[in-house]
Homo-oligomer: A and B are copies of this chain.
């Protein structure tokens, strides 16, 4: 979803387009890498909107999650948000914390009694760079 589409959705749902929401959406829809943490985003956006509160940021992020604009999963310590719309897994390096997308080529699950809404797939390990570093 691009900036315009997201804004359109908010309007349709009668959700107010505040400065803080606009900046958050602008930033998210313009980023290259898909994932980010609240803290990370807060550091960047605070420069543009000095009064921005972390509470507002969280509320907007979860609003966007509800709208299906972004996705969230936990890296074990904190919540990671992801703007990449294609379902995929995440490889997290336990040493440096780097997160990379992993394609899910095939996934077949056993029976689930209930309504399943989303899947979070996290692969933990050690990334290339850290593997090299460890060898030294």
Q: Which positions in A face B, CB cutoff 8 Å? A: 73-76, 79, 89, 91, 93-94, 100, 102-128, 130-131
Question: Which residues of chain B come closer than 8 Å to A127, judged between CB atoms?
Answer: 113-114
Partner of A126, one of B89, B100, B117: B117
Q: Given the complex of chains A and B, what is the CA–CA distance between A91 and B107 in angstroms?
A: 15
Dominant SS at the A interface? strand
- Judge whether B115 and A105 touch: CB under 8 Å: no
Q: Given the complex of chains A and B, what is the CA–CA distance between A47 and B104 in angstroms?
A: 45
Q: Kindly provide the distance from the CB of A110 to the nearest chain B CB, expressed in whole angstroms.
A: 3
Q: Given the complex of chains A and B, what is the CA–CA distance between A122 and B71 in angstroms?
A: 14
Q: Given the complex of chains A and B, what is the CA–CA distance between A79 and B116 in angstroms?
A: 21
